[in-house]
Structure 1
Amino acid sequence: MDNALFVGLSRQMVLRREMDIVANNIANADTAGFKVESLMARTEPKNPANTAPGPRPVKFVLDDGVARNFGQGTLRTTGGTFDLGIEGDGFFTVNTAEGERYTRDGRFRMDPTGRLVTEDGDPLAGEGGGEIVIDPEKGPVTISKDGVVSQGTERIGKIGVVEFAELSVLRKDGGNLYRNTSNLQPAPQPDAVIHQGMLESSNVNPVLEITRMIEVTRAYERVTKMMDSTAELSRRSIERLGRVN
């Protein structure tokens, strides 16, 4: 009997983790550049908890990590001078106190020193890694589709877009940023198009995520009922053995 309870508990733990991921997707449905996530699960054979007859080995359910869909989100017009949307593959590079980070979130602004920064104040890296600094007295800022930043006829810098051969090396690092967890270095992505005055929307489909949330809830309820039935069967068996003795 214990084996069924342990297997059910392992499944419940995975379902709770999956619910957290689905809820996070829904919460970020309106977050620029957010990429939808899903839970990966696997089974792992283990020795039974007791010697009672039954399948051997017993297969438990385990969390096997998070998969992320880096598919293109819809580009929407905002009109903001420093709102930038990437069409195609690639990431903006951001210089943080912990090192380089990468993002599809193009909500940039100009800080008091004229630097282009994220909403959290981390500088946007230009091509070559340097910062992009704007002089407000030199007039309006234009950003071309290949990332060249200009004020009038003067070129200020160029925003680089980079890509990774293996997207699996990227891990979430807070603030809608990703960090590189390997020694693999990003390469320039010359085919990416930067759209000034636009932002890439999240690629979350709220209807699908709400449907998935309902499915997870029902699966959790089914496992709970199975565990309750197993516990009740075990209780009755003990009572009957007690009467016989």
Structure 2
Amino acid sequence: MADVISAIQLTLNADLERLRTISQNLSNQGAPAYKRDQMIVEKFQAAYLSGAKLEPEFSLQKDFTQGAFKLTGNAMDIALDGEGFLMASSSDKTFFTRKGQMRLNPDGYLGLVTGERLLGRSGPIALNDADFVVQPDGSVVQDGVVLDKLAVVTFQHPEQLSYAGAGLFENPTKQAPTEATGAQVMQSYLEMSNVNTMEEIVRLVELTRHYQLSHNVLKAYDGSIDSAISTLGKF
């Protein structure tokens, strides 16, 4: 059977990783379109029961459930109601995001506040000025002319996207995106984070109790070993 102390230490390490995840979620609960992290601990029980060497197998996955919408009154804000991601580009990289905080870039193209160009179906979208309308189907209209339609895509396995920071995701596994047919674009709205503060606090309390219990078990086991060695030493 696998070493008991190693199993307990692995449990404590997993708890510390969960703590970091909860802290990350709570610190970003006010960030537009932030998707909460959830930690996955894999194969621990099976490895323990089989007597195999215990190795930490932690992985983080994003929870892509939709957050609540906030009316900002700012025409440079958009939100997606439904599954899908906006597409943006910077240099030779393509990003995917639900964080629809836009700006008119200095080069005259519609972009994100982080500087990336927002993409339409035909590529980057050039504007005359910041006075434009985004229709529910994603059409970008200026002076009565439809310039392009925002590229909104979905993935069969969004959990395989890699978080690049600032609400942006990359596609390292080269999944083929498909057009998001069910999403609607809401101008002057932002999607807020999907972090439920109370749920994260409850998880934090449960985690604290679990960590303390594991620590107590480790101390008790260590004490029993010391007692056994002491007893054997008397013979």
Tell me, yes or no, whether TM beats 0.5.
Answer: yes
The answer as to 2:71 corresponding to 1:73 is no
Indicate the RMSD between aligned Cα atoms, in angstroms.
Answer: 2.2
Cα drift, residue 18 of structure 1: 1.0
Structure 2 counterpart of 1:176, from 167, 178, 187 = 167
| Match in the other structure for 1:202 | 193
What amino acid is the match of 1:105? K
> Which one of the candidate residues 57, 63, 82 is aligned to 2:76?
82
Q: Distance in 2 between matches of 1:119 and 1:213?
A: 33
Residues 109 and 116, structure 1, Cα contact 8 Å, conserved in 2: yes
Distance 2:26 2:169 in 1: 19
Q: Superposition pairs for residues 159-174 of structure 1, below 5 Å?
A: 159-174=150-165
Structure 1 residues 56, 178: CA separation in 2 closer, same or farther (over 3 Å shift)?
closer
Q: State the Cα distance separating 1:103 from its structure 2 match.
A: 0.6
Contact map agreement 2:14 2:58 (CA 8 A) in 1:
no
Q: Deviations over 1:157-212 (max 9, x none)?
A: 22111111222321212221111122321011132100110001111110000110
How far is 1:119 from its partner?
2.3
Determine the C-alpha separation between the residues in 2 that align with 1:56 and 1:134.
Answer: 63
- Provide the residue aligned with 1:104 in structure 2: 98
Q: Deviations over 1:121-179 (max 9, x none)?
A: 11111113x1112212xx72111111111222123322111111222321212221111
**Distance of 2:45 and 2:197 partners within structure 1:** 32
Query: By how many angstroms is 1:45 displaced?
Result: 5.2
**Structure 1 residue ranges, 4+ long, deviating more than 3 angstroms after superposition:** 44-47, 58-64
The TM-score normalised by the length of structure 1 is 0.87
Task: Report the equivalent of 2:35.
Answer: 35
Larger Rg computed on CA atoms: 1
Equivalent residue runs for 1:1-245 within 5 Å = 3-42=3-42, 43=44, 57=51, 60=54, 62-97=56-91, 99-128=93-122, 130-136=123-129, 140-244=131-235
Contact 1:14-1:61 within 8 A present in 2 as well: no
Structure 2: distance between partners of 1:58 and 1:162: 42
Structure 1 residues 243 and 97, CA, compared in 2 at 3 Å: closer, same or farther? Answer: farther
SS of structure 2 residue aligned to 1:107: strand
The runs of 5 or more residues in structure 2 that have no matched partner are none
TM-score by length of 2: 0.91
Deviation digits for residues 37-75 of structure 1 (CA, Å, limit 9, x no counterpart): 21111316558xxxxxxx762684743422332112111
Distance (whole Å) between structure 2 residues aligned to residue 19 and residue 119 of structure 1: 31
